[in-house]
Amino acid sequence: MTRKFDLPTLFVGAAAAFVLAFIYLPMVVVVVYSFNPDAVNVFPMRGFSLRWYRVLLEDEQLVSALRISLLIALGGTSIGLLLGVPGAIALARHEFPGKRILERIVLLPLTLPGIVTGVAMLSFFPLIGVPVSLLAVLIGHGTFLIAITLTQVYARLRRLDPSLEEASADLGAPPLTTFFRVILPNIKTAIIGSALLSFTLSLDEIPVTFFLIAGDNTLPIQIWAMMRRGISPEVNAISTLVFAGSIGLILLGTALGGRDKE
Amino acid sequence: MDTAPAAKATVHTQNPPKRRALLFLVLPPALWLLCFLVLPYLGLFIQSFLGSDDLGNVVLEPTLDPWKAFFTKTLYRSTLLYTFKIALTVTSLSVLFSVPLAYFIAFKVRRWKELLYSLIIVPLWVSYIVRAYAWKIILGREGILNSFLQWAKITDAPVEAFLYSEWAIVIGLVHIYTPFVLMPVYTAFEQIPRSLVEASKDLGAGRLTTFFRVVLPLSLPGVIAGGTFAFVLTLGDFLAPVLLGGTDNLMISNVVQNLFGTSNDRPLGSVVGIVLLVVVVALLETTSRAEKSFASLESGRGRLGGAR
Amino acid sequence: MGIVELRKVVKRFGDVEVVKSLDLSIEKGEFLTFLGPSGCGKTTTLRMIGGFELPTSGEIYLGGREVSALPPYKRDVNTVFQSYALFPHMSVRQNVAYGLEQKRLPKAEIERKVTEVLAMVRMDAFAARKPRELSGGQQQRVAVARAIVNGPSVLLLDEPLGALDLKLRKEMQFELKSLQRKLGMTFVYVTHDQEEALTMSDRVAVMNGGRIEQIDAPVAIYNRPKTRFVADFIGETNLLAGEVFRDGSAHAFSLGSARIPIEPDAVLEAGHRISLSVRPEMVTVRKAGDGEAEDVALPGTVEETVFVGSVWKTVVRLAGGERVVATEPPATHGHIEQGSSVVVGWNPKSAVVLEA
C-alpha cells in the first residue's frame, strides 16, 4: 500500500521531531561533553576521555554531597511513606471532621511555589527549636514527600473496590489482617512507585533545601555551587551520572507500575 | 484532575474501635503537616506585619511598613510585571511546542507509542539543575553554540548575546517546563474518542477544520492544566534567572531570595512571598474553574461512553 | 425467635432516614428476599445485618444474640457482594480458603472443605485461576463458594446476579435456589428484579421509602397485594381510583357513574376513597352486545391491540376516560379491531380493594 504524499502530516511530524530534539539535545550535549578531554566545552570535541570522572571520584566535597543527598532522600522517603500511607487510607476510606481541609492542605506543597514554602520554613523552624541544618532539610523534604505518597496511594485506593475490605471483614478478618492481606497487596505497587518518585524528587530538590541548609551541601546545591565557580567539565560528568541515576529510577518505577497494570 | 473512575466509597457510622483506628491513621500526618507546613505559612503571613531592627532581625512590633514598602517602591511592581511577561512567554511557547508533539504521538504514531510517550514524560523527573546547566554550556560565550558557529564559519567572533539574556531564561524555562505541559495535553488528546474525529470528517470537515473545531476544543482542559503548570512553575523559579539571565534579569522569586538572603529584610520578603502565594492560588482557582467549565464537554463524553 | 430479628431498626445518613423503624423476623432455613426500587433501604437493611452499617437505633439479633454494634468479623453471617469483591491478588482457591484461615482451622481441613465447596459450585477445574481470568458467571460462583464454605448461620446476598446477562441470570436463579435447599441454609437476598424475587423466595419483603410495605409468600404478594405500591410494583395491573358505594350490606365501587361490585376483606364506609387493582390476565374483553354479561361490565373503546408473543394485549379506553389493559391467550382472543366498541369485565373476586 502506498501512502499519499501528505503535507500536513509531514509538517506535524517535523514539528514534533523538532520539539523532541529541543528537549533531548541539551541533555545529549552534556552527556557527550562529559567525555571531553579538554577543560573547556567547545565544538568540535577533541577526543574521548574519562578524565573528568576520575576528577569526580577524588572530589571529596562532591562525594560527601552525594552521601548527604542519599541520606536525606532515604529519610524523607521514609517519612513520606510512614505518614502518607496511613493518611491516604484515612482520606480514602473514612469520614471525619476537617477532612476537606486536610485534603486541601496536603496539596499545598505540590501546588505552591517551593520558594515560598522554603522561606516560610526558614522563618518558622528556628522558633520550634529546629535551626537551619540538615535536620531542617530532612523535615522539609519529608513534608512534601508526604504529599507525594499520599496523593499517589490515595489515587490507587480510590480505584480499589471498597467492598474488598468489607468482604475480608465479612470472612472474619480483623482490621489489621485486612490491611496486611487485602489492602497492602493491592496498593503495593503504588507504594513502591511513590517511594521511587519521592527518592528521585528529593535527590533533585533545590528551592526548599536552599533556604534550610547550613554548611553541608546536598548534591544539586553542590552542583550549583560548582557552576557558580565556573564551568568545569567535572559538572558534565556528575550531571551524566545524575541523569543515569534518575532515568534508572524512573525506568524501575514504570517497570513495576507496568507489571501491575496487566 | 481525578479522571480515574473512582470506586464508590461507602461511608459507615463508626464504632469505637474504628474511631480509634482512624485517629491512629490521621493524627500523625495531620499533626506533621500542621507543625511543619500550616504554621510556617501562617508565620510567614504574621512576619509580613512585623518590623525589624537595624541588624535586620525581626522584632515583635506590629507594623504595616513592609506592605507600604511593597506598594510604594516601583521595583517590586515592575519585577512582578516582568515576571508575568516571562511566565506568559514561557507558557505560550511550551503550549505551542507541546501541541504538535502530543498530537503526533496521540494520533499518528502506532507502533512506538509507549516508548515515545515515556520519552516525553521522563524529562519531567530528570534533574532540574542539570538541565539548566546544559543551556549554560551551550549558550555560554565560550560555549558549544558559539564555538560551533565559529567552526562552521558562520561568525568569526563569539556572539555575546546568547547567555545572560532574557531569551536565555525563556529558552531554559521552556525546555524545563515543556514536559509538564506535554503530559496533560497528550492525555487530553488520547481521551478524545476517535469516533468524534471520524464523525467530523464524515460530516464533511477537512482535517484542519476537524482539528480546530473538534480536537482542540476537546483538549482544552489539558491545555489549560498544562499551561497553568508552566506559568506557576515559572513564577516560583529563582534559579534559571540567576544561572541563565545573569544579574540584570531578576524575577520575583529572586527578590524573595535576596530579601531572605543578602538584603536580610524578612518582613518585606514575607510580603513578596505572600503576594506570590496569593497570585498562584488565585491563578489555580481560576484555571481549575475554567477546566471544569470546559469539562462539560467531558461529561458529554462520559454519557457517550456510558451508552456504549 | 427467628434466626435474624430486627427490632425498631432505624438508619439515618445525615438528615435522610433510609430505614424507618423496621421490625422483622426471619426463620431458620428460610429464603427471604428484600424487593424494592433503588433507594428503598433494602441494601442498607442487608448491610446492617452483615455489620457493614450500624443501626442509628434499634436492635439486631442473630441466633438469639444481640449483634447490633458488632463489626462484621465478629458475626456468624457471610455475604455475597454485588461486585463479588473477589480478592484480585489471590487465586480462586486462596479466595475460598480465606475465611477458613481466619478461623484457624487445620490446613488439611481447609484443603478438604475448599475442594468440596468448589466441586459443589462446579469450579474445581478453575481453582488455580485468578478472578480476572474468570467470566462473570464463574466469578459469581466463586463468590458464593467463598461465603458458604464458612457454614454461616445466614447467607446475605446483595443483588448477586445483577451483573449477569438475562439467560445466565435465570440459570443462576435455579442454581442458587437448589443450593439453598440442599444446604438448608437461611438466605437473605436483595434484588430489584421482581421476577427473581418471586421465583426464588419463600417470602418476599416488598420495601418502599425505608419501610416494609408487605411481607408474604410470592403468590400472596402477587394475588393479594396489601397496598397500592405493592400492586403497582409487582407485575402489571390496572389501578382504578374511586369510592365505596353501599347498597345495604353489599359493597360496590363507584367509578364515575358506573357501579362495580367488589368483595373487600372488611366492611367499608360509603364514600371512602379506595383503589381497585385488577391484573390484566383477569380482564375479559367482548364486543358490545356479545354473549352474556358478567357481574362487571364496563363499556369502552379499543385503543390498541397487539400480539406480544404468548398473549394478546388489548388496551381499552373506558367511557369515563380510564385505561384498562387486558391480556388474553390467543385461543380466547376474539380478534377485536382497533376502534370497536367493547365491554370489559372481570370476576369481582379477582379484583383487590386497596386504600387509595
Q: What is the DSSP string of B251-308?
A: -HHHHHHHHHTTT--HHHHHHHHHHHHHHHHHHHHHHHHHHHHHHHHHHHHHHHHHH-
CA-nearest residue to A246 within chain B is B126
CA-nearest residue to B95 within chain A is A19
Q: How many CB atoms lie within 10 A of CB B203?
A: 10
Chains that touch C (3 or more CB pairs under 8 A): A, B
**Grid cell for residue C300:** 369502552
**DSSP single-letter state for residue C49:** H
Is A173 in contact with C88 (Cβ distance < 8 A)? no
Which residues between 227 and 286 in chain C have a beta carbon less than 8 angstroms from any beta carbon of chain B?
A: none
Task: Tell me the C-alpha distance between C32 and C186, whole Å.
Answer: 8
Distance of alpha carbon B234 from its chain centroid, rounded?
6
CA-nearest residue to B18 within chain C is C71
Residue spans of chain B under pLDDT 70: 1-18, 161, 294-308
**B184 contact A CB<8A:** no
Q: What are the two backbone dihedrals, phi and then psi, of residue C190, each rounded to the nearest 5 degrees?
A: -120, 130
Task: Tell me the C-alpha distance between C201 and C218, whole Å.
Answer: 7
**Among the partner residues C81, C87, C103, nearest to A182 by beta-carbon distance:** C87
Is C54 in contact with B12 (Cβ distance < 8 A)? yes
Q: Which of A163, A168, A171, A178 to probe by mutation at the C interface, max C CB count within 10 Å?
A: A171
Chain A residues near residue C83 by CB distance under 8 angstroms? 161, 163
Q: Cβ distance A205 to A141 under 8 Å?
A: yes
**DSSP single-letter state for residue A205:** -
DSSP-derived pairing of the beta strands C154-158 and C4-13: unpaired
Using omega within 30 degrees of 0 as the cis cutoff, is the peptide bond preceding A175 cis?
A: no
Domain that holds residue B288: 74-307
Q: Which residues of A lie closer than 8 Å to C, measured between beta carbons?
A: 161, 163-164, 166-174, 177, 181-182, 185-186
Is C71 in contact with B17 (Cβ distance < 8 A)? yes
C195: closest CA of chain A, how far (Å): 27
Provide the pLDDT for residue A111. Answer: 86
Mean pLDDT for chain A overall: 88
Q: Cβ distance B113 to A8 under 8 Å?
A: no
Is A166 in contact with C81 (Cβ distance < 8 A)? yes
Is A170 in contact with C103 (Cβ distance < 8 A)? no
For chain B, how many structural domains are there in total? 1
Provide the pLDDT for residue C291. Answer: 64
Is A42 in contact with B175 (Cβ distance < 8 A)? no
Q: Is the pLDDT of residue C88 over 90?
A: yes
**Is B18 inside any structural domain?**
no
Is C52 in contact with B18 (Cβ distance < 8 A)? no
Is B15 in contact with C56 (Cβ distance < 8 A)? no
Chain C residues near residue A163 by CB distance under 8 angstroms? 81-83, 85
Is B22 in contact with A94 (Cβ distance < 8 A)? yes
Is A171 in contact with C85 (Cβ distance < 8 A)? no
ipTM at complex level: 0.89
Provide the pLDDT for residue B298. Answer: 41
CATH class label, C238-355: mainly beta
Q: Cβ distance B270 to B66 under 8 Å?
A: yes
Q: CB within 8 A of C283, min separation 6: which ones?
A: C238, C324, C325, C326, C327, C344, C345, C346
Q: How many CB atoms lie within 10 A of CB C261?
A: 17
DSSP-derived pairing of the beta strands C211-216 and C203-208: antiparallel
Of all residues in chain A, the percent with pLDDT exceeding 70 is 95
Three-class DSSP category at C30: coil
Task: Tell me the C-alpha distance between A174 and A187, whole Å.
Answer: 19
Chains that touch A (3 or more CB pairs under 8 A): B, C
What are C14's strand-pairing partners?
A: none
Chain C residues near residue B11 by CB distance under 8 angstroms? 13
Q: Which of B12, B18, B20 to probe by mutation at the C interface, max C CB count within 10 Å?
A: B12
Which residues between 108 and 127 in chain A have a beta carbon less than 8 angstroms from any beta carbon of chain B?
A: 108-109, 111-117, 119-125, 127
Burial of B214-224, coded b for 16+ CB within 10 Å and e otherwise, reads bbbebbbbbbb
Q: CB within 8 A of A72, min separation 6: which ones?
A: A134, A137, A138, A141, A202, A218
Is C85 in contact with A167 (Cβ distance < 8 A)? yes
**A31 contact B CB<8A:** no
Is B12 in contact with C69 (Cβ distance < 8 A)? no
Is B284 in contact with A22 (Cβ distance < 8 A)? no
3-state secondary structure chain A: CCCCCCHHHHHHHHHHHHHHHHHHHHHHHHHHHCCCCCCCCCCCCCCCCCHHHHHHHHCHHHHHHHHHHHHHHHHHHHHHHHHHHHHHHHHHHCCCCCHHHHHHHHHHHHHCCHHHHHHHHHHHHHHHCCCCCHHHHHHHHHHHHHHHHHHHHHHHHHHCCCHHHHHHHHCCCCHHHHHHHHHHHHHHHHHHHHHHHHHHHHHHCCHHHHHHCCCCCCHHHHHHHHHHHCCCHHHHHHHHHHHHHHHHHHHHHHHHHHHHHC
Q: What are the two backbone dihedrals, phi and then psi, of residue C19, each rounded to the nearest 5 degrees?
A: -125, 125
Task: Tell me the C-alpha distance between A65 and A217, whole Å.
Answer: 5
**Among the partner residues B104, B236, B270, nearest to A113 by beta-carbon distance:** B236
Three-class DSSP category at C58: strand
Better-scored residue on pLDDT, A104 or C294: A104
Provide the pLDDT for residue B305. Answer: 29
Is C98 in contact with A174 (Cβ distance < 8 A)? no
**Among the partner residues B8, B179, B256, nearest to A119 by beta-carbon distance:** B256
Three-class DSSP category at A130: coil
Provide the pLDDT for residue C292. Answer: 65
- In total, the C-beta contacts within 8 angstroms joining chain A to chain B are 262
**A239 contact B CB<8A:** yes
Q: Which CATH number is associated with domain C4-226?
A: 3.40.50.300
Nearest to B122 by CA among A262, A224, A249, A192: A249
Which residues between 187 and 246 in chain B have a beta carbon less than 8 angstroms from any beta carbon of chain A?
A: 207-208, 232-233, 235-236, 238-239, 243
**Grid cell for residue B117:** 510517550
Calculate ∠ Cα C17-C21-C26, nearest 5°: 125
Chain B residues near residue C69 by CB distance under 8 angstroms? 15
Type of residue found at A91: L
R_g (Cα) of chain A, nearest Å: 23
Q: pLDDT digits over C324-337, tens only?
A: 999 988 777 667 88
Q: Cβ distance C16 to C35 under 8 Å?
A: no
Any idea which fold A71-218 has? Answer: MetI-like fold (1.10.3720)
Using left for φ > 0, alpha for ψ between -120 and 50, and beta otherwise, residue C85 falls in left
Is B15 in contact with C52 (Cβ distance < 8 A)? no
Count the helix, strand and coil residues of chain B and give each as a percent rounded to the nearest 5: 75, 5, 25
Q: Cβ distance B206 to B122 under 8 Å?
A: no
Q: pLDDT digits over C120-139, tens only?
A: 999 999 999 999 999 999 99
**Among the partner residues A161, A172, A181, nearest to C85 by beta-carbon distance:** A161
Q: pLDDT digits over A122-169, tens only?
A: 999 999 999 989 999 999 999 999 999 999 999 999 999 999 999 999
Task: Tell me the C-alpha distance between B22 and B222, whole Å.
Answer: 36
Task: Tell me the C-alpha distance between C222 and C231, whole Å.
Answer: 7
Is C52 in contact with B17 (Cβ distance < 8 A)? no
Task: Tell me the C-alpha distance between C296 and C315, whole Å.
Answer: 17
Calculate ∠ Cα B234-B93-B100, nearest 5°: 130
**Among the partner residues A170, A172, A186, nearest to C103 by beta-carbon distance:** A172
Task: Tell me the C-alpha distance between C123 and A142, whole Å.
Answer: 49
Q: Which H/E stretch holds residue C285?
A: strand C284-287
Nearest to B141 by CA among B119, B122, B121, B164: B164
**Is B128 inside any structural domain?**
yes
CATH of the domain at B207: 1.10.3720.10
**B14 contact A CB<8A:** yes
**Grid cell for residue C165:** 446477562
Task: Tell me the C-alpha distance between C4 and C18, whole Å.
Answer: 20
**Grid cell for residue C110:** 481447609
Task: Tell me the C-alpha distance between B1 and A31, whole Å.
Answer: 36
Q: Which of C54, C78, C89, C110 to probe by mutation at the A interface, max A CB count within 10 Å?
A: C89
Q: CB within 8 A of C355, min separation 6: which ones?
A: C227, C228, C274, C275
Using left for φ > 0, alpha for ψ between -120 and 50, and beta otherwise, residue C335 falls in left
Is C52 in contact with B10 (Cβ distance < 8 A)? yes
Provide the pLDDT for residue A257. Answer: 62
Nearest to C353 by CA among C224, C264, C234: C264
Q: Cβ distance C264 to C276 under 8 Å?
A: no
**Grid cell for residue B74:** 516601583
Burial of C37-56, coded b for 16+ CB within 10 Å and e otherwise, reads eeebbbbbbbbbbbbbbbbe
Q: CB within 8 A of C56, min separation 6: which ones?
A: B13, C10, C11, C12
Nearest to C217 by CA among C5, C59, C30: C30
**Grid cell for residue C269:** 364506609
Is C54 in contact with B13 (Cβ distance < 8 A)? yes
DSSP-derived pairing of the beta strands C154-158 and C77-80: parallel
Count the helix, strand and coil residues of chain C and give each as a percent rounded to the nearest 5: 30, 35, 35
Chains that touch B (3 or more CB pairs under 8 A): A, C
> Can you tell me the mean pLDDT for A219-233?
84
Q: Cβ distance C298 to C351 under 8 Å?
A: no
Q: Which of A46, A66, A103, A124 to probe by mutation at the B interface, max B CB count within 10 Å?
A: A124
Chain C residues near residue B17 by CB distance under 8 angstroms? 71
Q: pLDDT digits over A180-207, tens only?
A: 999 999 999 899 989 998 998 999 899 9
CA-nearest residue to B11 within chain C is C53
Nearest to B252 by CA among B272, B233, B228, B232: B272
Type of residue found at B43: G
**B46 contact A CB<8A:** no
Q: Is the pLDDT of residue C42 over 90?
A: yes
Is C53 in contact with B12 (Cβ distance < 8 A)? yes
DSSP-derived pairing of the beta strands C186-191 and C31-35: parallel
**DSSP single-letter state for residue A240:** H
Q: Cβ distance A193 to A152 under 8 Å?
A: yes
Q: Cβ distance C177 to C218 under 8 Å?
A: no
